[in-house]
Amino acid sequence: MSCFKGGSAGIRTGKSTLAGVAIVAIIVAAHLTYIGNGFVWLDHGDIEQGRALIPLSHWLNAFGSPYAFTGFYRPLVTLLHCLDARLWGIQASGFHVTNILLHVLAACAAPLFIGTFFPLSHRERLAAVLVFGLHPLSMLPAGCVSFRSESLMALFTFLSVWLYGKVRVPGRPYRLAALFLSIVCACFSKETAFFYLPVFFFMVQLTRLLQSVGARGAMASPDSPIAVPTRKAVRSAVAGWPAAITTGAALAGVWYLRHRAMPVAWCITGESLAPLERVGTALTALGRHLFNLVSPLLPQVSDPITITGIAAAAPIFVAAVCLAACILALRGGIAAPGTTMLFLTAISLMPSLNLLPLPRFYSPHYAYLAVAPGTGLVIALMRSARRSLRDPLPLVLSLMSASWVAAAAITTVIAGGRLQSDLTLFMPEVTRDSRFSEGWFYCGNCLRATSRFSEAQTAYDQGLLPAPGCIRFFPETELLINQSALAVQRNDLVSADSLMRVARECSPAAFQPDIAYIRADIAMRAGEYDTVIAFLANKDENLQRPESCRLLGDALSVRGKKEEAEKMYRRGNALADSASP
Residue 2 domain-assigned (yes or no): no
Q: Is residue 111 domain-shared with residue 172, that is, in the same domain?
A: yes
Collapsing DSSP to helix, strand or coil, 160 comes out as helix
Residue 15 domain-assigned (yes or no): no
d(CA 136, CA 417): 13
**What is the predicted pLDDT for the residue at 3?**
46
Collapsing DSSP to helix, strand or coil, 305 comes out as strand
d(CA 487, CA 368): 40
Q: Report the length, in residues, of the chain.
A: 581
Q: Is residue 549 domain-shared with residue 404, that is, in the same domain?
A: no
Q: Is residue 237 domain-shared with residue 115, that is, in the same domain?
A: yes
Model confidence at 234, pLDDT cuts 50, 70, 90, reads low
Q: Is residue 359 domain-shared with residue 396, that is, in the same domain?
A: yes
Residue 392 domain-assigned (yes or no): yes
Q: What spatial distance separates the first Cα and last Cα of the chain, rounded to whole Å?
A: 62
Q: Is residue 414 domain-shared with residue 439, that is, in the same domain?
A: no
Write down which residue in 389, 418, 447 finishes a domain. Answer: 418
Residue 5 domain-assigned (yes or no): no
Residues 52/46, Cβ–Cβ less than 8 Å:
yes
The beta-strand segments (E) located in 176-309 are 305-306
**What is the predicted pLDDT for the residue at 168?**
65
Collapsing DSSP to helix, strand or coil, 195 comes out as helix
pTM (2 d.p.): 0.90
Could you tell me where the DSSP H helices lie in 50-121? 75-88, 92-117
Collapsing DSSP to helix, strand or coil, 476 comes out as helix
**What is the predicted pLDDT for the residue at 215?**
52
Peptide linkage before 392 cis (omega within 30 of 0): yes
**What is the predicted pLDDT for the residue at 209?**
81
Average pLDDT, the chain: 88
d(CA 151, CA 129): 14
Note the pLDDT tens digit of each residue in 56-75: 888 999 999 999 888 899 99
Q: Is residue 426 domain-shared with residue 414, that is, in the same domain?
A: no
Note the pLDDT tens digit of each residue in 309-345: 999 999 999 999 999 988 887 777 777 888 999 999 9
Note the pLDDT tens digit of each residue in 92-141: 999 999 999 999 999 999 999 999 999 999 999 999 999 999 999 999 99
**276-286 mean pLDDT:** 93
Residue range(s) defining the domain that contains residue 391: 21-217+227-418
Percentage of the chain modeled with pLDDT above 70 = 91
Q: Is residue 395 domain-shared with residue 444, that is, in the same domain?
A: no
d(CA 522, CA 525): 5
Collapsing DSSP to helix, strand or coil, 335 comes out as coil
Q: Is residue 137 domain-shared with residue 75, that is, in the same domain?
A: yes
Collapsing DSSP to helix, strand or coil, 540 comes out as helix
**What is the predicted pLDDT for the residue at 499?**
94
**485-492 mean pLDDT:** 91
Q: Is residue 405 domain-shared with residue 428, that is, in the same domain?
A: no
Q: Is residue 461 domain-shared with residue 563, that is, in the same domain?
A: yes
d(CA 121, CA 314): 38
Residue 6 domain-assigned (yes or no): no
Model confidence at 581, pLDDT cuts 50, 70, 90, reads low
**What is the predicted pLDDT for the residue at 256?**
95
- Position 4 pLDDT exceeds 50: no
**353-369 mean pLDDT:** 90
d(CA 143, CA 219): 51
User: In the chain, how many domains are there?
Assistant: 2
168 versus 2: which is more confidently predicted? 168
